[in-house]
Chain A
Amino acid sequence: MSGSTVANSLEQRLRSLLTEAYQHRRLLAVLFVVISLSMSVVGVFWPKVYTSSVTILVDNHNIIKPLLQGQAVPTGAVDQSRVARELLYSRSALHRIMQATGLLASHPTPVQQQRIAERIKRHTRVFQIGDNLVKIQYQDDRPGRARQTVSEFAQLFIEASLKLKSQESDTAYEFIDNQVDEYHKKLVGAENRMRDFRDTHLDARPGTEGTIGDRITTLQDKIQKTELELKEAHIKEGSLKNQLSGEAAVTASISREGQYQELIAQLQGKLATLRLSYKDSYPDIVQLRYQIADLKEAVRQEQKRRELAQKAAEASGKTYVDKNIQMSPLYERLRRELSDTRTSIATLRARRDETRKMLSDEVNRGKRVSSSEAVMAELTRDYHVNRDIYQDLLKRRENARISMNLDRDQQGMSLRVYEPAFLPLKPSGLRFIHFAAGGILLGLAVPFGLLLALQEVDPRIRSEEAVQRALGLPVVAVVPDLLIEGEVRRERGDSRWVAVLLFLSMGAFVAIGLLKMKGIL
């Protein structure tokens, strides 16, 4: 439904376009002739443009590269076209181009020069083709100049990029070289500092700390042993003292009593023997009895005396030693032994104290050593770091030197003209035929387009469909314009006029085309 409406509307629009076009045929024809002829005139005078180009191969992959893998860093060329553009659009480069192509022959003013340079820039295109081809294209109205400019550009580009690369590696070498010097200085400084520190801190030798630890352990062992010995000696001394004092005396005293008791027992034995044979009045027996009594008395005396002596000794705090005992060889030996023990105690004490002092000395030394060792470790670390960097830089400097030499001998990146500049024989860009064809098309399209647009915009009724669409009113008749004889003649005359105009313009086209082909225009 809507499709048919659209089709109807389109059909109606075309019909009404035809009607309108016929009505305005004179205007349309004039517009057509003016547009198409003016386009072809523009085409005649349109400057011819000649394009020349040169392709340069930028090769980074040469034979040296695998040989020096990892040794030299080839200076990479990432976006050659950008580099090329920067190089070629520089002031000096443009000036050289102008000089080479004779644009400066007429001695233009700086402003004019600037303008020429701008024009060259505008007409130059630099493309990157693939990874390593750079194409430089230039357009000019003279074919010779186009080629010359392009080849000059190519030469400039090759020279400049080689120079740039060599400069780059030179700069890199210089930089690394400077760094090497600097690190060398740093390294020497670190060495000196270490030496000075060692001189002032003699303890600060490697391994000192271990030795000190061993020594401390030994000393501690020794102290323990000495203390043990000392304790033993004390115990010995105590026991000797006990033997020599109190209880020992009792023993001695008892021994004298014992002598008496022994004697008493002997005498009583003798008495018993005698009593077997004799009467108690027997003198011997009497004597014996007296003797025994005396002895018993002596025992008593002895006991009494001992008690007294003991009491006295206790009162004065001294050990009571019987003189008889003192005289005994055993006592003598004990006393000697006690004296020996005492001597040994004194010796042991002295030794212990000495050892303790040594231990504390050693501990202090250990402390000193550990602090100086921390300082030493730092100095050593500095030294190591500097040394490593220095060694690395040395290696790098050698790499850079090789890279520099590569670039100097033009081995790093090879640039060569892949496709040389050519002399353009045919002009590129828009040609006369384009203008002529475009003019005819435009001459048709513009008036008809305008007419269509006008029809689209104009709300006035031009067809019975419009009436029906707008109001739903029936159209009872469509009356064409009734022309009287003269008017018909005039219409026909107009048509003839249009035909003649179109014919003449075609003639003009052909004439212009022929002249153009013959090269007269």
Chain B
Amino acid sequence: MSIADKEQLGGRTDSGWPMAALGAGDREGALASAEQRHFDLAERQASRHAIARMEEPFVFTAKELAARRLLSSGTANTPVGNAFRELRMRLMQRTGGANTVVMVTSVIPGGGSSFVACNLAAAIALDEARTALVLDCNIRAPKATAFAMPELPLTETGLSDYLSSRDIVEDEIIQPTGLPRVRLIPAGTRRDLEGEFFSSVRMRQLMSGIARRYPERSLVLDAPPVQSSADTSVLAELCDWVMLVVPYGRVTARQLAAAATAVGERKLLGVVLNRRPWLPPVLRRFAA
């Protein structure tokens, strides 16, 4: 909880970033409207400073990150690192470098959407001028939380609690990860939420609120697999882009086509072919 407060403080110290007139953003609402159109370099500079001032209560070492299958600056040049950097680049190309909300969903359960979401966030945050926030929307089986923060107890207040209770403020649910500039909103303690919560005003409020907390912040949603949940299509509505994760050798073209239809072709950024089998470096260049 204290971490969130500190982040909030850090956020508060940052000057002039226009905030929505809702929720937590209220407090800084007065500043917003006049300077909204003037997003100049100086302000950007300022936001960078703000990001630099983000408090990191703990930072994992490269070894620890590697053990969690998370990218770090040290592993950025490995094949996996390159793949995620390329993914980030593609995303940035599409958005023109602006902040974005991207949803990552797997075609089938166990496809590795949490892995892709967390590492995409990590890759985005490799740039010191950017932050990323992972939103674990897989309330029934919160994978991203367990993936990025295995130490975090599942009883921790999270998204589901926020959506079902008006008493919880967004600052309470934002958790730091061991990755610098990457935050996580865990799934929460409630497991019985229905799809309507995602289409609720409160959800929208949360998304716009946290998107504006920092400039240069990207939001990565880890959505439940397309096949097993109707929430995914609802969530897709809230996002700018959707990425479909296809685990190697487990999905048929028919399943993929069904998933693409479910999320809607319009927002579909593309397919991420995940978990291509590991090959020793000798064989890698023949297979590539």
Contact = CB atoms under 8 A, between A and B. Distances in A.
Bound together = yes
A446 B31 CA distance: 73
Contact of A19 (B67, B116, B277): B277
A498 to B, nearest CB: 12
Interface stretch (B179-187, B211-219, B265-273): B265-273
20 contacts: A18-B279, A18-B283, A22-B277, A22-B279, A461-B249, A461-B251, A461-B252, A467-B273, A470-B256, A473-B268, A476-B86, A477-B83, A477-B90, A478-B83, A480-B278, A482-B69, A487-B278, A488-B278, A491-B278, A491-B280
The listed residue with most B CB atoms (<10 A of its CB), out of A18, A20, A474, A481, is A481
Given A459-B252, A459-B253, 15 more contacts: A20-B277, A23-B277, A460-B249, A461-B256, A462-B249, A473-B271, A475-B273, A476-B87, A476-B272, A477-B83, A477-B86, A477-B272, A481-B248, A481-B275, A492-B280
A456 to B, nearest CB: 14
Contacts, number: 126
B123 to A, nearest CB: 10
Interface in A499-518: none
Interface in B64-84: 66-67, 69, 79-80, 83-84
A252 interface: no
B58 interface: no
A124 to B, nearest CB: 55
B253 A470 contact: yes
Interface string B215-243: 00000000000000000000000000001
A23 B251 CA distance: 18
B287 interface: yes
B27 interface: no
A477 B273 contact: yes
Contact of B276 (A459, A467, A480): A480
A458 B251 CA distance: 10
B250 interface: yes
Nearest to A14: B286
B260 interface: yes
Contacts of A458: 249
B250 A475 contact: no
A11 to B, nearest CB: 10
Nearest to A458: B249
Nearest to A467: B271
A103 interface: no
Contacts of B288: 15
Interface string A36-65: 000000000000000000000000000000
Contacts of A487: 278
Contacts of A479: 80, 83-84, 87, 112, 116, 272-276
B280 to A, nearest CB: 7
B246 interface: yes
A251 interface: no
A23 to B, nearest CB: 5
A475 B253 contact: no
Nearest to A455: B249
B257 interface: yes
How many interface residues does chain B have, given as a range?
Answer: 35 or more
Interface string B106-143: 00000010011001000000000000000000000000
A18 B286 contact: yes
A471 interface: yes
Interface string B52-70: 0000000000000011010
B244 to A, nearest CB: 8
Closest 4 A/B residue pairs (Cβ): A470-B253, A476-B270, A477-B87, A474-B270
A487 B66 CA distance: 12
A202 B118 CA distance: 143
Nearest to B275: A481
Contacts of A466: 253
A231 to B, nearest CB: 136
B76 to A, nearest CB: 13
A168 interface: no
A484 interface: yes
Contact of A480 (B83, B86, B270, B286): B83
A483 interface: yes
A90 interface: no
A227 interface: no
Contacts of B274: 479
A462 B248 contact: yes
A199 interface: no
A475 B270 contact: yes
B84 A477 contact: yes
Contacts of A467: 246, 253, 256, 271, 273
A370 interface: no
B276 A474 contact: no
Contact of B287 (A18, A474, A491, A495): A18
B202 to A, nearest CB: 31
Interface in A209-268: none
A464 interface: yes
Contacts of B84: 477, 479
A485 interface: yes
B67 A485 contact: yes
The listed residue with most B CB atoms (<10 A of its CB), out of A19, A466, A474, is A19
A19 B280 contact: no
Nearest to A488: B278
A460 B251 contact: yes
Contacts of A18: 279, 283, 286-287
A464 B257 CA distance: 14
B275 A471 contact: no
A152 B67 CA distance: 82
Given A481-B278, A485-B66, A476 B116 contact: no
A498 B250 CA distance: 26
A180 to B, nearest CB: 93
A480 B283 CA distance: 13
B243 A495 contact: no
A479 B250 CA distance: 15
Contact of A484 (B66, B87, B251, B277): B66
